[in-house]
Structure 1
Amino acid sequence: MDSETLLARITGYASRPDPYPLYAELREAGPVVRQADGSYLVGTYHELSALLHDPRMSVDPRLRGETTHKPPFLRLDDPEHHRLRTLAMRPFGPPHSPDRVDGMRGEIDRITKELTDPFEAGRQIDIVDDFAYPLPVAVICHLLGVPREDEPLFRAWSDALVTAADVRPGEDTTEADKAGEQARIEMGGYLVNLAEQRRGRPGDDMLSAFANEPDPALRLTQEELAETAVLLLIAGHETTVNLITNGVLTFLRHTEHLDRLRGDPGLLPRAVEELLRYEPPVHMRERIPRDDIDVAGTVLPRGTSVVLALASGNRDPKRFPDPDRFDPARPDVEHLGFGGGIHLCFGGPLARLEAQAALGALIPHLGAARLVQDPPPYRQSAMLRGPRHLTVQL
């Protein structure tokens, strides 16, 4: 059956420019579709939302013997997940108070202005290399306390880790996994070394906060510090690059909204939420049932791979009227762009802040701009989907 090859077709590189017709096919085939490789694919909004909140759905790869080391909290279940996530969030400040993220507004605006100042009419720019990548990298480096001059080093590690984390049905993943594991070890060692240099000599950064935690009960072990710092560095920029780039691509495909946003900048926060629904930076996540789980009459067997196609849920017509239309003023945008449940992306507020600042600064430059290539070349990853380059003629 064609439906049994949906995951392979969605993750195939040929589908990267436009996977949405395949997501529609998935939703028509049923809320849950078993794949030829034995995995299960879920693509409807309400079922996805329920599974994201279901405590029987695990994220821990150790359940299937895929790794022996302790994963980062993104791949851990409660109570381990809750403890490490709480410790990772401490340097951001206490809940419901002015925190480190909100305090970054000025720095984000400064970096954004620095990057856009050279954008003159008539110039050709690459939105990714000239703007969408350097902005979140500069921000996360500032937050963590990572030297910007080391960016080429951790960019290579990050690429290897993103490739290893991708959903690749039916493929021999040995080489990618080996490269990802090596990158994880090297990047973790690099970040732990930076943290150790600040022990007793703290700066105003997260690595300093981790290394100088005064309460022994709240201290991260060296392994936990390495995994947490690697996760924060990668997650702190990879998804935001896609969010900004997908945003520019969407605006240049729907130029009528640029005039609207120029005239009413107050719409920008809602427009970013619509982008997170319409062209999300993260398209799918994997889960592993701890028990057999019945979803709409299909049993997800314990221990199998379940791929949650979040981007498909974001285009579900049973949840969003006219879902394939981009509407920056859409009134109800309860999307799955940041996941959901206990694993809701805790970097979401920072990503929103960066995207609003970035797109707000770019919109004045996009009035008569045009795409040099559409569709643009895409990154390999099906999970973290976004253009590798986006060349624009200003």
Structure 2
Amino acid sequence: MTDLNPVSPENIRDPYPLYKELRDNHPVHWSEVVHAWIITRYDDVVACFRDPRLSTNRLNFYSFQLQGSDPAIAEDVLGVLSKQMAMKDGIDHLRVRRHASQGFSPQALDAWRPSIRRIMTMLVDRVHAEGRMDVVSHISYQLPPLVIADLMGVPPEDRGLFQSWAKPIAQFSSPTVGVDMVEVTKQANRAMQEFKAYLFKIVEERRHHPGQDVLSQMIHFQEGGGMSMDELLSNANLILTAGHVTVTDQLTTGLHNLLSHPDQLQKLREDRSLIKSAVEEMLRYSPALPFSVRIAKQDIQLHGKTIPKDSVVFLGSASANRDPKVFPDPDRFDITRDHIHQKHLGFGFGAHHCLGAGLARRELEIALEVMLDRMPGLRLDEDSPPRLKLDTLFFRGFNSMHVRW
């Protein structure tokens, strides 16, 4: 019998048997362990992403984790999160997203391809002569923050700062199983205070000396009344944080998928036109964010179950991506799969579809291209097995993954 505890060590290590059991027999499942409803079938997850009765305002979710604690310890971090587009619904969400998204059009992002390739080439140059590396520390932990900082116009000498701030904030948003939430919250709150003060300084400098970067465009819309100063700072924080946390995990996980399936790796080596479909299959097969969190604004009926008002709901994108009713032979990693007619949910769905999806795709494509070009014998290091993250339900990735070439 399958253990239905989503945070058991076995299910964190390999969640897909659990997802299958839930899809087949418990598509709307109440988990007492995580105190949330879990939705796992593709059609249901898509319907829930569309359902206006499910809110993205997750402040109650964070408050539940802090029940019994002094709310003041989270004042700054919750204040910023509450003004981010990812926490807004309806018209408020559309307004802020529209003003923040100008720099993320396909045309705008294509202009940054040379910058992404330059950064990736620099990272490979640093380790190429060694013949081996840890992908996590040498590539995936470095590339996304450098790219998003370039996109936002963050000075090169400051780019390490927001990495140090993003980690405790991400830990607060998606906490590790069993952590001391009071201590996590204090660290996140302190990081958010420093992050916001830093962004305020950068915004004021950029206001007088605008550039072509995304932050300059956001400031232009803020000055025109499109958003408040607090919204500008909060959403710049969101882009800088979310713009690299998930891509870090997705890059390593996707590369592991490829190196673990030598027949698919060989196909890509022989036909580089498959690079885009390879990236889509990586996003489908092992998305870095297995779940999206929503809050029920009223009672919702689904498959004979009642999801009560104010309940936390986990939308299982990773499970939906393996639904055999949508993806034939879903547990097979196949870089030639048809992703035009079978849309994976690796970046969510609907109004809150990930703003940075286009940037992430370009980073993944270029990273793969550069590594395959420069490291023709790329393979997993048999002497240093990869170490999965085994302490969180929300991020799917590795603590280390050693390769050779």
Q: Output one character per residue of 1:249-283: Cα deviation in whole Å (capped at 9) or x when no partner.
A: 11111112122111111111011111100011111
How far the C-alpha of 1:169 sits from its partner, in A, is 7.3
AA of the residue aligned to 1:127: V
For the pair 1:153 / 2:167, whether they are aligned, the reply is no
The 3-state SS of whatever aligns with 1:385 is coil
1:116 paired residue number? 124
Structure 1 residues 212-291: aligned runs within 5 Å: 212-213=220-221, 216-218=224-226, 220-291=227-298
1:98-113 matches, within 5 Å, as 99-113=107-121
Looking at structure 1, the residues matched to 223 and 402 of structure 2 have their Cα atoms a distance apart, in angstroms, of 50
What amino acid is the match of 1:255?
A: P
Is the CA contact 2:275–2:365 (under 8 Å) kept in the aligned structure 1? yes
Aligned to 2:327: 320
| 2:344 equivalent to 1:335 | yes
Pick closer, same or farther for the CA change 1:353–1:64 going to 2, 3 Å.
closer
Q: Which residue of 1 aligns with 2:68?
A: none
Q: What's the counterpart of residue 61 of structure 1?
A: 58
Secondary structure at the aligned position of 2:13 is classed as coil
Give, in whole Å, the separation in 1 of the partners of 2:284 and 2:291.
13
Give runs of aligned pairs for residues 301-316 of structure 1, distance below 5 A: 301-316=308-323
Per-residue CA distance 1:235-257 (angstroms, 9 max, x = gap): 11111112211121111111121
Partners of 2:351 and 2:140 lie apart in 1 by 28
- Mapped pair 1:369 → 2:369: no
Tell me if 1:358 matches 2:355: no
What SS class does the counterpart of residue 108 from structure 2 fall into?
Answer: coil
Contact 2:177 2:391 in 1 (8 A): no
Alignment coverage as a number of residue pairs? 385
Superposition CA RMSD, Å: 2.4
Aligned equivalents of 1:17 and 1:65: distance in 2?
25
Residues 81 and 124 (structure 1), Cα distance of their counterparts in 2 relative to 1, 3 Å cut: same
Bigger drift between 23-32 and 47-56 goes to 23-32
- Secondary structure in structure 1 of the residue aligned to 2:293: strand
The alpha-carbon deviation at position 309 of structure 1 amounts to 1.8
Structure 2 match to 1:198 = 206
Q: Distance in 2 between matches of 1:214 and 1:321?
A: 46
- Structure 2 residue 392 is the aligned partner of structure 1 residue 349: no
**What corresponds to 2:67 in structure 1?**
none
Matches of 2:201 and 2:266 in 1, distance apart? 49
Contact kept in structure 1, 2:27 and 2:40, CA below 8 Å? yes
SS in 1 for 2:133: strand
Describe the SS at the equivalent of 2:225: helix
Check the 8 A contact 2:7/2:393 in 1, yes or no.
no
Kept in 2: contact 1:293–1:302 (CA 8 A): yes
Aligned to 1:8: 7
1:76-95 alignment to 2 at 5 Å? 76-92=88-104
How far, CA to CA, are the matches of 2:255 and 2:221 in structure 1? 41
Shift, 1:359, TM fit: 0.8
Which SS does the other structure have where 1:6 is aligned?
coil
Q: Secondary structure at the match of 1:384?
A: coil
- SS for the counterpart of 2:329 is coil
State the one-letter code of the partner of 1:42: I
Alignment CA distance shift 1:100-1:120 (3 Å): same
1:378 equivalent among 389, 392, 401 = 389
User: What is the TM-score with the length of structure 2 in the denominator?
Assistant: 0.88
Structure 2 unaligned segments of length 5 or more: list them: 64-74
Shift of 1:88: 0.7
Contact 2:132-2:404 within 8 A present in 1 as well: yes
Contact preservation (8 Å) 1:132, 1:244: yes
The equivalent position to 2:43 in structure 1, one of 46, 49, 57, is 46
Q: Which amino acid aligns with 1:369?
A: R
User: Deviations for 1:108-161, whole angstroms, at most 9, x for unmatched residues?
Assistant: 122222222345476220112211222221211111111232233212211101
AA at the equivalent of 1:206: V
C-alpha change, 1:169 and 1:377, in structure 2 (3 Å) is: closer
| 1:163 and 1:381 in contact (8 A); partners too | no
1:391 aligns with 2:398: no
DSSP-derived class of the 1:307 partner? strand
CA contact (8 A) 2:6 2:15 kept: no
Counterpart CA distance in 1 for 2:178 and 2:314 is 14
Give the distance between the partners of 2:378 and 2:36, measured in 1 at CA: 46
The 5-angstrom pairing of residues 114-153 of structure 1 reads 114-120=122-128, 123-153=131-161
Query: Structure 1 residue 17: deviation in Å?
Result: 3.5
Structure 1 residue runs of 5 or longer lacking an equivalent are: none
CA distance in 2, matches of 1:154, 1:210: 19
Distance, in Å, in 2 between the alignment partners of 1:119 and 1:32 is 47
Q: Report sequence identity in percent.
A: 35
Q: Displacement, 1:297? A: 1.4
Letter in 1 for 2:380: R
